[in-house]
A = this chain, B = another copy of it.
Protein backbone atom coordinates (compact mmCIF):
# COMPACT_ATOMS: atom_id res chain seq x y z
CA UNK A 1 0.00 0.00 0.00
CA UNK A 2 1.24 3.45 -0.82
CA UNK A 3 -0.17 6.96 -0.95
CA UNK A 4 1.51 7.29 -4.33
CA UNK A 5 -0.45 4.55 -6.10
CA UNK A 6 -3.34 5.45 -8.33
CA UNK A 7 -6.80 4.35 -7.16
CA UNK A 8 -6.69 1.66 -9.83
CA UNK A 9 -3.53 0.07 -8.45
CA UNK A 10 -5.10 -0.21 -4.99
CA UNK A 11 -8.03 -2.10 -6.52
CA UNK A 12 -6.02 -4.50 -8.71
CA UNK A 13 -6.17 -8.21 -8.01
CA UNK A 14 -3.11 -9.44 -9.94
CA UNK A 15 -2.81 -12.80 -11.67
CA UNK A 16 -0.80 -15.46 -9.86
CA UNK A 17 1.05 -17.71 -12.30
CA UNK A 18 1.74 -21.36 -11.57
CA UNK A 19 4.81 -22.07 -9.47
CA UNK A 20 8.09 -21.66 -11.38
CA UNK A 21 10.63 -23.27 -9.07
CA UNK A 22 14.07 -22.11 -10.18
CA UNK A 23 15.89 -25.13 -8.77
CA UNK A 24 14.46 -27.50 -11.45
CA UNK A 25 14.13 -30.36 -9.02
CA UNK A 26 10.54 -31.27 -9.90
CA UNK A 27 8.87 -33.31 -12.59
CA UNK A 28 7.14 -30.15 -13.71
CA UNK A 29 3.59 -30.79 -14.90
CA UNK A 30 2.04 -27.57 -13.61
CA UNK A 31 2.28 -24.80 -16.22
CA UNK A 32 1.48 -26.56 -19.48
CA UNK A 33 4.94 -26.21 -20.93
CA UNK A 34 6.00 -28.52 -23.72
CA UNK A 35 8.30 -31.33 -22.55
CA UNK A 36 10.22 -31.30 -25.83
CA UNK A 37 12.81 -28.68 -26.78
CA UNK A 38 12.12 -26.02 -29.41
CA UNK A 39 12.66 -26.81 -33.10
CA UNK A 40 16.34 -27.50 -33.84
CA UNK A 41 16.03 -24.94 -36.62
CA UNK A 42 14.90 -22.30 -34.15
CA UNK A 43 17.87 -23.11 -31.92
CA UNK A 44 20.17 -22.98 -34.92
CA UNK A 45 18.77 -19.56 -35.82
CA UNK A 46 19.50 -18.30 -32.31
CA UNK A 47 23.01 -19.70 -32.37
CA UNK A 48 23.89 -18.25 -35.75
CA UNK A 49 22.33 -14.81 -35.16
CA UNK A 50 25.02 -12.12 -35.20
CA UNK A 51 24.72 -10.88 -31.64
CA UNK A 52 26.65 -7.70 -32.35
CA UNK A 53 23.45 -6.57 -34.03
CA UNK A 54 21.67 -6.57 -30.66
CA UNK A 55 23.00 -3.03 -30.34
CA UNK A 56 20.23 -2.04 -32.76
CA UNK A 57 16.52 -1.85 -32.02
CA UNK A 58 14.50 -4.76 -33.39
CA UNK A 59 12.13 -4.32 -36.29
CA UNK A 60 9.23 -2.56 -34.49
CA UNK A 61 6.74 -4.17 -36.86
CA UNK A 62 8.14 -7.73 -36.67
CA UNK A 63 7.63 -7.87 -40.42
CA UNK A 64 9.40 -11.14 -41.23
CA UNK A 65 7.64 -12.94 -38.41
CA UNK A 66 4.25 -11.58 -39.39
CA UNK A 67 4.91 -12.63 -42.98
CA UNK A 68 5.86 -16.15 -41.89
CA UNK A 69 2.69 -16.42 -39.81
CA UNK A 70 0.58 -15.01 -42.65
CA UNK A 71 1.99 -17.59 -45.02
CA UNK A 72 1.40 -20.43 -42.61
CA UNK A 73 -2.22 -19.46 -41.98
CA UNK A 74 -3.02 -18.34 -45.52
CA UNK A 75 -3.81 -14.76 -44.55
CA UNK A 76 -2.13 -11.41 -45.24
CA UNK A 77 0.52 -9.75 -43.08
CA UNK A 78 -2.07 -7.06 -42.28
CA UNK A 79 -4.15 -9.76 -40.59
CA UNK A 80 -1.39 -10.64 -38.12
CA UNK A 81 -0.42 -9.00 -34.82
CA UNK A 82 2.42 -10.26 -32.62
CA UNK A 83 3.07 -9.61 -28.95
CA UNK A 84 5.36 -10.39 -26.03
CA UNK A 85 3.57 -13.64 -25.21
CA UNK A 86 -0.12 -14.19 -25.83
CA UNK A 87 -0.72 -12.57 -22.44
CA UNK A 88 0.39 -9.24 -23.89
CA UNK A 89 -1.76 -9.84 -26.98
CA UNK A 90 -4.72 -10.56 -24.70
CA UNK A 91 -4.06 -7.46 -22.58
CA UNK A 92 -3.97 -5.19 -25.64
CA UNK A 93 -7.10 -6.89 -27.00
CA UNK A 94 -9.04 -6.21 -23.82
CA UNK A 95 -8.07 -2.55 -24.00
CA UNK A 96 -8.68 -2.28 -27.74
CA UNK A 97 -12.09 -3.95 -27.93
CA UNK A 98 -13.77 -4.83 -24.65
CA UNK A 99 -14.40 -1.59 -22.75
CA UNK A 100 -17.95 -1.12 -23.94
CA UNK A 101 -21.28 -0.16 -22.44
CA UNK A 102 -22.33 -3.81 -22.31
CA UNK A 103 -20.37 -6.37 -20.28
CA UNK A 104 -17.73 -8.70 -21.65
CA UNK A 105 -18.78 -12.36 -21.50
CA UNK A 106 -16.54 -15.30 -20.70
CA UNK A 107 -17.06 -18.77 -19.22
CA UNK A 108 -17.18 -18.95 -15.42
CA UNK A 109 -14.39 -21.49 -15.63
CA UNK A 110 -11.69 -20.30 -18.00
CA UNK A 111 -8.31 -18.59 -18.06
CA UNK A 112 -8.04 -16.80 -14.73
CA UNK A 113 -6.21 -13.84 -16.31
CA UNK A 114 -9.44 -12.63 -17.99
CA UNK A 115 -10.97 -11.08 -14.84
CA UNK A 116 -7.56 -9.58 -14.04
CA UNK A 117 -7.50 -7.74 -17.38
CA UNK A 118 -11.03 -6.55 -16.66
CA UNK A 119 -9.70 -5.08 -13.43
CA UNK A 120 -6.75 -3.43 -15.18
CA UNK A 121 -8.90 -1.75 -17.83
CA UNK A 122 -12.05 -1.31 -15.71
CA UNK A 123 -14.15 -3.49 -17.99
CA UNK A 124 -17.54 -4.78 -16.85
CA UNK A 125 -17.84 -8.52 -17.24
CA UNK A 126 -20.34 -11.32 -16.80
CA UNK A 127 -19.40 -14.95 -16.33
CA UNK A 128 -21.44 -17.49 -18.25
CA UNK A 129 -21.63 -20.78 -16.35
CA UNK A 130 -20.48 -23.97 -18.01
CA UNK A 131 -22.96 -26.77 -17.64
CA UNK A 132 -22.50 -29.51 -15.05
CA UNK A 133 -20.30 -31.48 -17.44
CA UNK A 134 -18.10 -28.39 -17.99
CA UNK A 135 -19.44 -28.00 -21.52
CA UNK A 136 -19.59 -24.50 -23.02
CA UNK A 137 -22.94 -23.93 -24.70
CA UNK A 138 -22.31 -21.07 -27.11
CA UNK A 139 -26.06 -20.30 -27.18
CA UNK A 140 -25.71 -19.09 -23.60
CA UNK A 141 -23.60 -16.24 -24.97
CA UNK A 142 -26.48 -14.94 -27.09
CA UNK A 143 -27.29 -12.06 -24.75
CA UNK A 144 -26.44 -8.35 -24.89
CA UNK A 145 -22.68 -8.02 -24.60
CA UNK A 146 -19.67 -5.80 -25.28
CA UNK A 147 -17.50 -8.71 -26.37
CA UNK A 148 -16.93 -12.43 -25.88
CA UNK A 149 -13.76 -14.31 -25.05
CA UNK A 150 -13.52 -18.08 -24.85
CA UNK A 151 -10.45 -20.32 -24.70
CA UNK A 152 -10.70 -23.26 -27.10
CA UNK A 153 -9.84 -25.83 -25.88
CA UNK A 154 -10.95 -24.34 -22.59
CA UNK A 155 -8.55 -24.01 -19.69
CA UNK A 156 -8.40 -25.55 -17.17
CA UNK A 157 -11.01 -28.06 -18.37
CA UNK A 158 -9.14 -29.09 -21.56
CA UNK A 159 -12.42 -29.52 -23.44
CA UNK A 160 -13.00 -28.51 -27.06
CA UNK A 161 -15.85 -26.54 -28.62
CA UNK A 162 -16.68 -27.73 -32.15
CA UNK A 163 -15.82 -25.22 -34.89
CA UNK A 164 -19.46 -25.16 -36.01
CA UNK A 165 -20.37 -23.66 -32.62
CA UNK A 166 -17.69 -20.95 -33.02
CA UNK A 167 -19.13 -20.17 -36.43
CA UNK A 168 -22.61 -19.71 -34.94
CA UNK A 169 -21.18 -17.63 -32.10
CA UNK A 170 -19.55 -15.18 -34.52
CA UNK A 171 -22.69 -15.00 -36.61
CA UNK A 172 -24.97 -14.29 -33.64
CA UNK A 173 -22.65 -11.67 -32.11
CA UNK A 174 -22.42 -8.00 -33.05
CA UNK A 175 -19.35 -7.48 -30.85
CA UNK A 176 -15.78 -8.78 -31.02
CA UNK A 177 -15.40 -12.51 -30.38
CA UNK A 178 -11.94 -13.66 -29.28
CA UNK A 179 -11.09 -17.35 -29.43
CA UNK A 180 -8.02 -17.96 -27.29
CA UNK A 181 -6.40 -20.95 -28.96
CA UNK A 182 -3.33 -21.43 -26.77
CA UNK A 183 -3.90 -25.19 -26.88
CA UNK A 184 -5.51 -25.70 -30.28
CA UNK A 185 -2.59 -27.61 -31.81
CA UNK A 186 -3.13 -30.64 -29.58
CA UNK A 187 -6.21 -31.95 -31.31
CA UNK A 188 -8.54 -29.06 -32.08
CA UNK A 189 -9.49 -27.33 -35.29
CA UNK A 190 -8.47 -23.67 -35.43
CA UNK A 191 -11.00 -20.91 -36.09
CA UNK A 192 -8.43 -18.95 -38.10
CA UNK A 193 -10.14 -19.74 -41.46
CA UNK A 194 -13.33 -18.18 -40.04
CA UNK A 195 -11.55 -14.82 -39.70
CA UNK A 196 -12.08 -14.41 -43.45
CA UNK A 197 -15.82 -14.86 -42.96
CA UNK A 198 -16.33 -12.75 -39.82
CA UNK A 199 -14.80 -9.32 -39.32
CA UNK A 200 -15.54 -9.52 -35.59
CA UNK A 201 -13.47 -12.65 -34.95
CA UNK A 202 -9.97 -12.50 -33.49
CA UNK A 203 -8.02 -15.72 -32.93
CA UNK A 204 -5.08 -15.68 -30.50
CA UNK A 205 -2.35 -18.32 -30.40
CA UNK A 206 1.02 -18.70 -28.71
CA UNK A 207 4.52 -20.10 -29.22
CA UNK A 208 4.63 -21.15 -25.55
CA UNK A 209 2.85 -24.49 -25.82
CA UNK A 210 2.95 -26.35 -29.13
CA UNK A 211 6.17 -24.59 -30.20
CA UNK A 212 8.13 -25.11 -26.96
CA UNK A 213 9.13 -21.45 -26.75
CA UNK A 214 7.56 -20.33 -23.46
CA UNK A 215 10.96 -18.93 -22.50
CA UNK A 216 11.03 -16.54 -25.47
CA UNK A 217 7.60 -14.92 -24.98
CA UNK A 218 5.72 -14.86 -28.26
CA UNK A 219 2.05 -14.74 -29.06
CA UNK A 220 -0.03 -13.57 -32.00
CA UNK A 221 -3.51 -12.64 -33.09
CA UNK A 222 -5.13 -13.19 -36.47
CA UNK A 223 -8.20 -11.37 -37.67
CA UNK A 224 -9.66 -8.70 -39.93
CA UNK A 225 -7.16 -5.94 -40.70
CA UNK A 226 -9.25 -3.36 -38.86
CA UNK A 227 -9.02 -5.40 -35.66
CA UNK A 228 -5.26 -5.72 -36.16
CA UNK A 229 -5.01 -1.97 -36.72
CA UNK A 230 -6.80 -1.43 -33.40
CA UNK A 231 -4.24 -3.65 -31.67
CA UNK A 232 -1.40 -1.79 -33.36
CA UNK A 233 -2.77 1.53 -32.14
CA UNK A 234 -2.65 0.24 -28.56
CA UNK A 235 0.76 -1.38 -29.02
CA UNK A 236 2.25 1.78 -30.50
CA UNK A 237 0.90 3.75 -27.56
CA UNK A 238 2.48 1.31 -25.10
CA UNK A 239 5.79 -0.05 -26.44
CA UNK A 240 7.01 0.37 -30.00
CA UNK A 241 9.41 -2.57 -29.86
CA UNK A 242 7.75 -5.39 -27.90
CA UNK A 243 9.46 -8.33 -29.63
CA UNK A 244 13.21 -8.61 -29.30
CA UNK A 245 15.44 -9.50 -32.25
CA UNK A 246 16.30 -13.00 -31.02
CA UNK A 247 12.66 -13.88 -30.42
CA UNK A 248 11.70 -12.66 -33.91
CA UNK A 249 14.48 -14.73 -35.44
CA UNK A 250 13.73 -17.94 -33.56
CA UNK A 251 10.01 -17.64 -34.15
CA UNK A 252 10.40 -17.40 -37.92
CA UNK A 253 12.51 -20.57 -37.97
CA UNK A 254 10.08 -22.36 -35.68
CA UNK A 255 7.18 -21.59 -38.01
CA UNK A 256 9.15 -22.77 -41.01
CA UNK A 257 9.99 -26.11 -39.36
CA UNK A 258 6.57 -27.68 -39.72
CA UNK A 259 7.76 -31.30 -39.56
CA UNK A 260 9.18 -30.95 -36.07
CA UNK A 261 6.06 -29.11 -34.94
CA UNK A 262 3.78 -31.87 -36.20
CA UNK A 263 5.94 -34.59 -34.66
CA UNK A 264 6.06 -33.10 -31.16
CA UNK A 265 2.32 -32.34 -31.17
CA UNK A 266 1.61 -35.95 -32.18
CA UNK A 267 3.90 -37.31 -29.49
CA UNK A 268 2.10 -35.28 -26.83
CA UNK A 269 -1.30 -36.39 -28.11
CA UNK A 270 -0.21 -40.05 -27.96
CA UNK A 271 1.22 -39.68 -24.46
CA UNK A 272 -1.97 -37.91 -23.37
CA UNK A 273 -4.19 -40.74 -24.58
CA UNK A 274 -1.99 -43.30 -22.84
CA UNK A 275 -1.97 -41.28 -19.61
CA UNK A 276 -5.76 -40.85 -19.67
CA UNK A 277 -6.14 -44.60 -19.90
CA UNK A 278 -3.74 -45.22 -17.01
CA UNK A 279 -5.30 -42.56 -14.81
CA UNK A 280 -8.77 -43.98 -15.42
CA UNK A 281 -7.48 -47.31 -14.20
CA UNK A 282 -6.27 -45.58 -11.02
CA UNK A 283 -9.79 -44.33 -10.32
CA UNK A 284 -9.57 -40.88 -11.88
CA UNK A 285 -12.34 -39.25 -13.83
CA UNK A 286 -10.55 -37.62 -16.79
CA UNK A 287 -12.33 -34.95 -18.82
CA UNK A 288 -12.00 -35.41 -22.61
CA UNK A 289 -8.92 -33.38 -23.52
CA UNK A 290 -7.88 -31.67 -26.74
CA UNK A 291 -5.01 -29.88 -24.99
CA UNK A 292 -1.51 -30.63 -23.70
CA UNK A 293 -2.96 -31.07 -20.24
CA UNK A 294 -5.73 -33.04 -18.61
CA UNK A 295 -8.21 -32.17 -15.90
CA UNK A 296 -8.82 -35.00 -13.48
CA UNK A 297 -10.69 -35.78 -10.29
CA UNK A 298 -10.26 -38.90 -8.18
CA UNK A 299 -13.22 -41.04 -7.11
CA UNK A 300 -12.15 -41.17 -3.48
CA UNK A 301 -9.20 -38.88 -2.75
CA UNK A 302 -9.30 -35.09 -2.53
CA UNK A 303 -7.44 -33.02 -5.10
CA UNK A 304 -5.62 -30.74 -2.65
CA UNK A 305 -4.36 -33.75 -0.76
CA UNK A 306 -3.15 -35.40 -3.95
CA UNK A 307 -1.50 -32.16 -5.12
CA UNK A 308 0.35 -31.91 -1.80
CA UNK A 309 1.48 -35.52 -1.77
CA UNK A 310 2.61 -35.34 -5.39
CA UNK A 311 4.62 -32.20 -4.64
CA UNK A 312 6.28 -33.90 -1.68
CA UNK A 313 7.19 -36.76 -4.00
CA UNK A 314 8.72 -34.33 -6.52
CA UNK A 315 5.85 -34.08 -9.03
CA UNK A 316 4.36 -30.62 -9.52
CA UNK A 317 0.79 -30.35 -10.86
CA UNK A 318 -1.70 -27.45 -10.69
CA UNK A 319 -4.45 -27.15 -8.12
CA UNK A 320 -7.03 -24.34 -8.21
CA UNK A 321 -8.75 -23.47 -4.94
CA UNK A 322 -11.92 -22.33 -6.67
CA UNK A 323 -15.59 -23.30 -6.50
CA UNK A 324 -16.65 -26.19 -8.75
CA UNK A 325 -13.07 -27.21 -9.58
CA UNK A 326 -11.49 -27.53 -6.16
CA UNK A 327 -11.55 -31.28 -6.42
CA UNK A 328 -9.70 -31.36 -9.73
CA UNK A 329 -6.04 -31.37 -10.70
CA UNK A 330 -4.71 -29.93 -13.93
CA UNK A 331 -1.85 -32.08 -15.15
CA UNK A 332 0.41 -31.07 -18.03
CA UNK A 333 1.33 -33.84 -20.46
CA UNK A 334 5.06 -34.39 -20.13
CA UNK A 335 7.33 -36.89 -21.80
CA UNK A 336 6.41 -40.57 -21.57
CA UNK A 337 9.00 -40.95 -18.80
CA UNK A 338 7.61 -38.01 -16.85
CA UNK A 339 4.08 -39.38 -17.13
CA UNK A 340 5.29 -42.78 -15.96
CA UNK A 341 6.84 -41.09 -12.92
CA UNK A 342 3.45 -39.45 -12.29
CA UNK A 343 1.55 -42.72 -12.65
CA UNK A 344 3.95 -44.64 -10.42
CA UNK A 345 3.90 -41.90 -7.78
CA UNK A 346 0.11 -41.74 -7.86
CA UNK A 347 -0.10 -45.55 -7.60
CA UNK A 348 2.01 -45.37 -4.47
CA UNK A 349 -0.02 -42.53 -3.00
CA UNK A 350 -3.29 -44.30 -3.77
CA UNK A 351 -2.30 -47.82 -2.71
CA UNK A 352 -4.77 -49.33 -0.24
CA UNK A 353 -3.61 -49.15 3.33
CA UNK A 354 -1.25 -46.22 2.76
CA UNK A 355 -1.70 -43.65 5.50
CA UNK A 356 -2.15 -40.26 3.90
Contact = CB atoms under 8 A, between A and B. Distances in A.
Contact of A20 (B57, B217, B229, B230): B57
A6 B244 contact: no
Which range holds the interface residue count of chain A?
35 or more
A261 interface: no
B53 A215 contact: yes
A85 interface: yes
A303 interface: no
Contacts of A5: 96-97, 226, 230, 233
Interface stretch (A29-37, A156-164, A182-190, A276-284): A29-37
Contacts of A246: 46, 215-216, 244, 246-247
A14 interface: yes
B63 A22 contact: yes
A200 interface: yes
A242 interface: yes
B57 A240 contact: no
Could you tell me the dominant secondary structure of chain A's interface residues? loop
Interface stretch (A115-123, A133-141, A310-318, A336-344): A115-123
Contact of A214 (B43, B54, B117): B54
Contacts of A97: 4-6, 9
Contact of A38 (B34, B51, B236): B51
Interface in A226-260: 226-227, 229-230, 232-247, 250
A93 to B, nearest CB: 10
Contacts of A116: 237
Interface in A49-75: 51-60, 63
Interface in A181-236: 199-200, 208, 212-217, 224, 226-227, 229-230, 232-236
Nearest to A208: B57
Contacts of A6: 95-100
Contacts of A238: 87-88, 91, 117, 120
A57 B15 contact: no
A56 B214 contact: yes
Nearest to A200: B4
A269 to B, nearest CB: 17
Of A13, A99, A199, A233, most buried by chain B (CB within 10 Å of CB) is A233
Contact of A216 (B47, B54, B240, B250): B54
A56 B2 contact: no
Contacts of A9: 95-97, 230, 233-234
B57 A234 contact: no
Contacts of A355: none
Contacts of A28: 56
B51 A47 contact: yes
Interface of A: 1-2, 4-9, 12-17, 20, 22, 28, 31, 33-38, 43, 46-47, 51-60, 63, 84-85, 87-88, 91, 95-100, 116-117, 119-120, 175-176, 199-200, 208, 212-217, 224, 226-227, 229-230, 232-247, 250
9 contacts: A9-B230, A12-B234, A17-B241, A31-B57, A33-B55, A37-B54, A55-B212, A120-B238, A217-B241
